[in-house]
Each structure stands twice: as C-alpha cells, then as structure tokens.
Structure 1
C-alpha cells in the first residue's frame, strides 16, 4: 500500500495553512451591515443604529427618515395672518392624535372621531389630561366599552385607511383647542388639556357623551383648567 504524500518542507506547510485560513475568512465589508440613521426633526437628533449580531444581515437596507409635523389638521387655515403667530401643538398632543388614528384603525372604523381622540389621550398616558382622567376613574378600557355602545363596533372584515379622515366633531375639537389658545394670548403650546376640553365642548358628540357617562362634567373641566394654570404645573 502506497504511503500518503507529505510535505517535506515545514515552511511550505505553514504557508499552505496560512493561505487556507485567509481564504476561509469572510470579507469584512460583507460581514456587517452599514449603519442606518433615524433622523427626527421632532427630537432634533440623528440616531445611527448598527447591528451587533454578526448573523443579522440587511443586504438591501434603506435609510429611514422620520418626519413629524408640529401642527394638526385644521378647517380654519386662515384664522391668523402671520404664520409666526400660529401656536404649535405640544409633543404629547401630537402623539395623542397619532394614537387616536391608530386606535380608529384598530377598531376598524372608517373615520377618526373625537371618541378616538379621547382614547388617544389615554393611550399617550403621560400628559396632565391623561392623568386627570385616570384619577377620576376614566380609563382606556372603559372608554373603549362606551365607544362600542355609542359608535358601534367596526366590521371585522373592514380595513381602515392609513389615516382615517376626521369626523366633523373631531375636527371641531381640534379647531376649538387652537381658538382657545389664540384667545388666551398666552405663549406656549396647545396641549392635550386643550384637546380634551375641545372634545368636551361638542355636547352632542360621541366623545362628550362618553365622558359624561363616565362621570366627567363641567366642574371637572374647571378643575382641570385650574390645575393646568397652577404655577409649576407641567402640562403637555
């Protein structure tokens, strides 16, 4: 039986092993994905994200840009003559609006009503208005239950649009909030307190009826206004 061939030169053996290791290493340019950025004008920062898991690959990843507006839909675009005088909505109010749209889609509603705006405030959860509602026993679960009674349940086979259009009552609530802020003459932003009071101002609307059923009234509204105007109060 013939003996297996051997390499007589130790140096040659080392070179062959080294070359084999180099060839087996993956290219550094293909092992890890390039970082992608999350840029948010709302927060004013740019975040770079890189995967630390070598098994995770994004060969065709795209740059992601998040844009957030400082205003909400209005039926009165010409209420002021100068854009510099238009008050901006607070971060919490804008988030509440976004959560309202998502809730309307979740419930498979064709529109975003002021009942959804109410739920959006509660889902956001950190504003003075949201905390005030919960302190008075008005929770997201209860509002959802009342919404099903007042508005009705959505069709399980219906798919809401990405941005369900506002009902007249919901649009009126937004415009009421802006008008009240303009009338006050105060600096600062339009907050979720303004939004909640705007919902309450529409007496025949679903949002008002739901709040009334759950114990909200004019006295509660005045109490909320008083809390929001106290020195050092953090409203948003």
Structure 2
C-alpha cells in the first residue's frame, strides 16, 4: 500500500529517486585522511605530503681529478730567471705529468716518484714515448704491478694530496730532461721522450728499476733517442 501511495504521488517518487542518487554517489574520505590536511594533535603542527623528486644514484666514493698546470717544476731557479732561454714543455708532457700525480693518488702514495712519472707517460697514451714503450711490451698495467711489487700498496685509509710532491729522483729526472734539451739546442719543446730518458738516467730510482725489470735497457734508450720524430709531433 505504501509503495502504491508513493507511486501515485509524483512528488514522493521524485524524492525517492533523489535519495537513491545521493546514496549511490561515492562519499569523500574524512578530512583527517586527506594527505594535504593531516594534522598531529601531539606534535602541534600540520604535516604536508608533497610528491618527492627522484634523485639520481650517486656512488659513494671520493672523486679523483687531475689538474694540468702550464709548466713543470724545476729545482734550478737560475734557469727560470732567464725564461727566454728555457724551452717549453710539450702539451703531452705536461698532461703526462698531471696523469703521474693522478697515478700516485690512485695508489695512495704521498709523493710523485719516477714510477708515477712512468705511469703518467703511459696513461696519457698518445705520446711517442708511450708508443715506444708499448711496442716493447711495457704497458701501464705491467708498470702498476711492478710498482706495487717494488714499493708495496698504500694505506687504504690514506688520502694523497691533490698534488703529491715530487721525490728527489723524480725532480732530478725533470731537470735532466730540461738540461738535455738545452744541450741539443733547437727551438723544439721538451717532450715525453726527454722525460722518459730522464727517468732512465736515475739508475737507483724505482722508475729505472721497473723499466729494467720489464726489458728496457741502454740499447733501447739509444734506439728511442735516434728514432724520435720531430718535436712538434709530440707537442
């Protein structure tokens, strides 16, 4: 009977349809469930949630860089005073020196020795001295292995300075290269060939011992000297 009355009454029918529609609509969540309006009565402040930006993965390690200077250090300041007479180092020689410092830091050595200079030449890779060494079976990995055998591994908790200071024999090798270029004359640059021969001239140095252990000798030294291409090629 009630149903019949409601059907006979148009206003009642409209009311029932309206109630049914309202009940079928999804109810919005309570305000305390909305992320933008969360509030903690204990902490006394409003908490807002914002979509976070994804950060790229950054490996947790110490970055090692190499700084390339414009010249190489010398212990003979009297030649620096007459800079016009001192030949310049080639670009590849300067980069090899920077790579030598980098190799010393990789091995966690406190100084840059003749062994590091040798590794720097091979690390640069494009210079004439490096090509000659590789042609004779002397590679960067072999020199690294011989260096560790001769000098041992560095302390794993030690961090080398950005520019590990030169050892005395390494400085003498650089000075030898400059002197040798001055003796030969000409307007060319001091190249990696001069630097390599400077390392070989330091007979008691680690660099000389490593080169000798890997098959380098005086005959190869003379071969390198006589077969060197024009200085500009190594510049």
**Taking structure 1 as the reference length, what is the TM-score of the superposition?**
0.69
How far, CA to CA, are the matches of 1:217 and 1:131 in structure 2?
Answer: 16
Q: Which residue of 1 aligns with 2:180?
A: 180
Give 1:86 shift: 1.1
Gaps of 5+ in 2: 1-17, 19-66
The equivalent of 1:224 in structure 2 is 224
C-alpha distance in structure 1 between counterparts of 2:86 and 2:110, whole Å: 30
Residues 98 and 120, structure 2, Cα contact 8 Å, conserved in 1? yes
Does the Cα contact within 8 Å between 1:108 and 1:159 map onto a contact in 2?
yes
Query: Which of the two has greater helix per residue?
Result: 2
CA distance, structure 2, for counterparts of residue 68 and residue 101 of structure 1:
10
Distance 1:219 1:91, change over 3 A: same
Tell me the residue number matched to 2:58: none
- Contact 1:112/1:164 (8 A) holds in 2: yes
Contact kept, 8 Å, 1:70 with 1:90, in 2: the verdict is no
| Unmatched segments (≥5 aa) in structure 1 | 2-66
Match of 2:201 in 1: 201
Q: Tell me the distance in 1 between the aligned counterparts of 2:88 and 2:231.
A: 20
In structure 2, relative to structure 1, the CA distance for the partners of 1:105 and 1:208 (3 Å cut) is same
Q: Once the two structures are superposed, what CA deviation does each residue of 1:160-202 show, in whole Å capped at 9, x if it has no partner? A: 0111000001101000000101111111100000000000000
Larger displacement relative to structure 2 (75-84 or 199-208): 75-84
- Asked if the contact 2:110–2:161 (Cα under 8 Å) also holds between the matched residues in 1, the reply is yes
Q: Is the 1:227–1:233 Cα contact (8 Å) retained in structure 2?
A: no
Instruction: Name the SS for the 1:174 alignment partner.
Output: helix
* 3-state SS of paired residue (2:164): coil
Distance 2:145 2:231 in 1: 35
> Does the Cα contact within 8 Å between 1:97 and 1:120 map onto a contact in 2?
yes
Flag the structure with larger Rg.
2
- Give 1:70 deviation, angstroms: 3.1
1:102-147 CA distance string (max 9 Å, x none): 1100100000001000000000000100000000000001000000
In 2, Cα distance between the equivalents of 1:218 and 1:136? Answer: 13
Q: Secondary structure at the match of 1:78?
A: helix
Q: Could you say which residue in structure 2 is the equivalent of 1:115?
A: 115
Mapped contact 2:191–2:231 kept (Cα < 8 A): no
Aligned partners of 2:82 and 2:159: how far apart in 1? 40
Q: Distance in 2 between matches of 1:70 and 1:189?
A: 13
